[in-house]
């Protein structure tokens, strides 16, 4: 069973708009990661946020983590057509040593 | 190497045959992971190696699946008596150590006919 669940399942926006994706999980975690996947092949690591962190930035990406609500959000600002992809959150549980992925959010950015 | 390398990129095999999928992780990465992904779903965990040993193989679906990493670098995922339900993209990832972000390979698309 999947630990993380992304919401929404699909998101379509215009270039230049911001995109927000959410991830909820069930059990305590060491860290939470966000990945991007193009064309159903290899995933690209975007950001890792640890359980004692609340917010991280990387370029146009901002990730927040609320451990009390067991949720995270990924914000992509000033989106571009090249941001079109599937985005996955993955949680590394306290004793797991492995990350468990959700089923992703499919983002479409229209030029 | 610069990234995680998986071979072959595509594999078509007949039902009942044996297949081996290879993963060459980033040099120096001690942790190696195998996942598989079906269309429209997220990656599903199979097995995790820390060094040469399988630290967690709880995701292997049954005893037809086996993986090794004899020298703590290259890993091979072995599937015996393949079934059509084994068709998926098999993804390998490595990380410097446990708890770090993963670097994924491009995957092997396995099709069992």
DSSP per-residue string spanning A41-95: S-EEEEEEEETT--EEEETTEEEEEETTTTEEEEEE-S--GGG-EEEEEEEEETT
Instruction: Please provide the size of chain B in residues.
Output: 113
Verify whether the Cβ–Cβ distance B43 to A92 is below 8 Å: no
Give CA separation, A90 vs A70, A103, B47, B105, in Å. 13, 10, 16, 17
Instruction: State percent of chain B over pLDDT 70.
Output: 99
Q: How far is A18 from chain B (nearest CA, A)?
A: 24
Q: Is residue A96 scored above 80 in pLDDT?
A: no
Q: Is residue B108 scored above 70 in pLDDT?
A: yes
Verify whether the Cβ–Cβ distance B98 to A45 is below 8 Å: no
pLDDT at position A1 is: 44
Quick: pLDDT tens for B40-84. Answer: 899 999 999 999 998 899 999 999 999 999 999 999 999 999 999
User: Quick one: which of A40, A41, A32 has its CA closest to A6?
Assistant: A32
Q: What is the average per-residue pLDDT within A44-63? A: 96
Distance from C-alpha of B109 to C-alpha of B93, rounded to nearest angstrom: 15
Instruction: State percent of chain A over pLDDT 70.
Output: 93
Do the Cβ atoms of A13 and A109 come closer than 8 Å? Answer: yes
The pairing of beta strand A105-110 with beta strand A10-14 = parallel
Strand partners, A99: A92
Q: For residue A27, what is the DSSP state? A: S
On chain B, the residues whose CB falls within 8 A of the CB of A42 are 4, 91, 104-107
pLDDT at position A15 is: 97
Q: Where are the beta strands (DSSP E) in chain B?
A: 5-7, 10-13, 19-24, 31-37, 44-50, 53-56, 65-68, 75-79, 88-95, 103-104, 108-112
On chain A, the residues whose CB falls within 8 A of the CB of B40 are 103
A3 touches chain B (CB under 8 A): no
- Those residues with Cβ within 8 angstroms of residue B62's Cβ, 6 or more apart along the chain or in another chain: none
Q: Is residue A82 scored above 60 in pLDDT?
A: yes
Q: Is residue A94 scored above 70 in pLDDT?
A: no
pLDDT at position A95 is: 64
């Amino acid at each position: 069973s999947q630990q993380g669940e992304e919401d929404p399942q699909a998101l379509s926006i215009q270039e230049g708009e911001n995109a927000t994706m959410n991830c909820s999980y069930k059990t305590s975690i060491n860290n939470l990661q966000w990945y991007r996947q193009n064309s159903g092949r290899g995933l690209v690591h975007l950001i890792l946020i640890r359980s004692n962190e609340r917010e991280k930035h990387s370029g146009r990406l901002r990730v927040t983590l609320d451990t009390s609500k067991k949720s995270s959000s990924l914000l992509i600002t000033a989106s571009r057509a090249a941001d079109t992809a599937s985005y996955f959150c993955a949680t590394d549980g306290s004793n797991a040593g492995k990350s468990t992925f959700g089923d992703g959010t499919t983002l479409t950015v229209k030029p | 190497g610069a990234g995680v390398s998986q071979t072959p990129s595509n594999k078509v095999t007949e039902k009942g045959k044996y297949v081996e999928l290879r993963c060459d992780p980033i040099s120096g990465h001690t942790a190696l992971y195998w996942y598989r992904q079906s269309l429209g779903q997220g990656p599903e965990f199979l097995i995790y190696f820390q060094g040469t040993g399988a630290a967690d193989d709880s995701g292997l679906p049954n005893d037809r699946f086996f993986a090794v990493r004899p020298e703590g670098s290259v890993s091979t995922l072995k599937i015996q008596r393949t079934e059509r339900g084994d068709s998926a993209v098999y993804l390998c990832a490595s990380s410097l150590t446990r708890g770090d972000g993963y670097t994924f390979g491009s995957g092997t698309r396995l099709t069992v006919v």
